[in-house]
Amino acid sequence: MATNNNEFRIPLEGVESEHCALIVDNGLAKLNGVESHRVELNNKEAIIETQNRETVSEAVKTIRDLGYGVTTVKKSFPVLQMTCASCAISVESMLKSQAGVVNASVNYANAKVSVEFIPSLIQVEHLRKVVQSIGYDLLIDESPSGDETIEHIQKENFKTLKKKTYWALILSIPVVVIGMFFMNMPFANEIMWFLSTPVLFWLGRDFYINAWKQAKHRSANMDTLVALSTGVAYIFSVFNTLFPEFWHERGLHAHVYFEAASVIIGFILLGKLLEEKAKGNTSSAIKKLMGLQPKTVTIVQDGGYQMEIPIEQVEIGNTIVVKPGEQIAVDGIVINGNSFVDESMLSGEPVPVLKNENDKVFAGTINQKGSFQFKADKVGSETMLAHIIKMVQDAQGSKAPVQKLVDKIAGIFVPIVIVIAVASFIVWNIFGGDNGFTQGLLALITVLVIACPCALGLATPTAIMVGVGKGAEKGILIKDAESLELAKKVNAVILDKTGTITEGKPVVTNDFWTEETPILKQILFSIEKQSEHPLADAVVSHLKNQNTVSITQFESITGKGAKAEIDGITYFIGNKRLIQENEILIENAVAQKANQWGNEAKTVIWFANTKKNNSHISNS
């Protein structure tokens, strides 16, 4: 830890000799703002003294550029109370200015901040206090239920926003009707005043509260624009309602703009509602990935006793039972039994993979017909599924190169808009003649209002979030926002997965029998009915509605097929190798047909008995 307020200790990695320490020390000497520096080899620390806290992150970058490491932690936290892209810039810049924060990136679209920091210099709670000091908050619940808490907050916020939006629109409609068509009716101004007041100061009060928070910290965001535009329009209209003679004495009509103020609040609330709904739909991709993991698992305790426990309680080394049709909960190694497992969510291959003893299984994959036991070797955030989910979340929160420009614009957007609005008002007052003040006021309100949605600052992060989310939904993992941006240059796509451009489910396309009888079809149907092989399902579907026959001594032959005995005759079904090993004669016509289908990239299944070759069936 720091010994004084200006001294910072940076933990080093890979600095193993005096020569390495000298390289790091010389690198730090070149940094502006570093008053003193030294490298303690025994403690694996670089110690710098500086008045500028941001110099610490520059020192970390310098050390890494020299080929050495710095011990840091990367964490992602939901940011609460952000209302626009400018808010994201404020939170990000505030975090970056803290000593010990190496990098911070806020994505307004998914309302999360990714922070890399040195834990010996700054703690998570301090990060939260820093964000709270500028009117926002961090949700730092890192327990397994943290995601559920976030989801609950988002759902409640969406419900509240929905109610506010509907009421704002309901109250604004009569204000607009009166203001446009019945402005000369008795007490028109007073009625509009009565209806618009709750829209601004009850349904739209968050805009004014947030604008005040920003003003206290000498900052401005989209709420500032909304509050200024609607507030000015409302106050001007109230003045004209109470003191119309002020304008009448000057030969002007006392216009009111209650409808403009209330409609602006209603429309912006509607925009926020649609935005939140889009975010909720996009996050469904993450929810689907998370849904691949069961909530509970069955473990085998000492003595063979089975017990069901929550997935959070699974530990490395536990023996877990997987029954037919169940999803595998964590990564592990098969120790007993075998089965076919659908790993399409990982590999893209639609045909299930046979898992025997010592084979690896992964969380999120689906067991087929068999049952087996496996020993957990990766749990929680270490499973492959967890890494995939984290990769998608990181990609959604990442920033494309074009967003660097967007962030710069968003950072100065609000002040520039306010300056332009004030300039418009002044110009109209100088050159606008008798109606200069009124027209200038309208120009000021218009400039503030049209800038409110901040399309540029919102569109880019939202597009990234939607793009990555839709990709995950379709089974395409996009590494980061930069990859998504570069995708526009793609002119050729190479696919190496069977299920990518096909249906991904085997079906029988042709069959060829040397002796086609109902009883043989029934025998074939009955044997495949007992088989657990994925191709067997295709044969069963092809021979549907067949009667079953009694089978004895059914045996699955790994890597080849299966055999069974019926009325003293042994029947084989599987690949050509199984037929040849049992010395069954293959007729020329059958061999030719099999070669033809093989050349068409179809999988050939052979069916024969110990008396003579009966038939073969092709699947693709």
Catalytic residues: 496
CA distance 520 to 614: 8
Burial class (CB in 10 A: 0-12, 13-18, 19+), 568: exposed
- Do residues 306 and 300 make contact, with C-beta atoms less than 8 angstroms apart? yes
Q: Which residues pair with 115 in a beta bridge?
A: 75, 104
Burial class (CB in 10 A: 0-12, 13-18, 19+), 125: exposed
CA distance 377 to 390: 19
CA distance 64 to 174: 63
* 3-class secondary structure, 487: helix
CA distance 505 to 350: 6
| Residue 113: CB atoms within 10 Å | 24
Question: Which segments of 291-434 does DSSP mark as H helices, in order?
Answer: 344-347, 384-397, 401-431
CA distance 400 to 410: 15
Of the candidates 349, 184, 168, the residue with the CA atom closest to the CA atom of residue 254: 184
Element (H, E) at 259: helix 258-282
Q: What is the 3-state secondary structure (H, E, C) of 177-231?
A: HHHHHCCCCCCHHHHHHHHHHHHHHHHCHHHHHHHHHHHHCCCCCHHHHHHHHHH
Q: Which residues pair with 337 in a beta bridge?
A: 372
The two three-digit tokens of residue 466, written as one number: 């939607």
- Do residues 619 and 535 make contact, with C-beta atoms less than 8 angstroms apart? yes
- Do residues 320 and 297 make contact, with C-beta atoms less than 8 angstroms apart? yes
- Do residues 461 and 403 make contact, with C-beta atoms less than 8 angstroms apart? yes
The two three-digit tokens of residue 327, written as one number: 């999803």
Which residue reads 């249906």 in tokens? 503
Element (H, E) at 332: strand 331-337
Burial class (CB in 10 A: 0-12, 13-18, 19+), 180: exposed
- HSE-CB for 173 with a 13 A CA cutoff: 5
Element (H, E) at 580: helix 576-581
CA-based angle 19:24:26, to the nearest 5?
A: 95
CA distance 493 to 341: 28
Report the C-alpha dihedral over residues 454, 458, 460, 462, rounded to 10 degrees.
-160
The two three-digit tokens of residue 52, written as one number: 């500028």
Q: Where are the beta strands (DSSP E) in 514-598?
A: 552-557, 561-566, 569-574
> CA separation (Å) from 181 to 193, 263, 344, 401, 439?
16, 16, 62, 50, 21
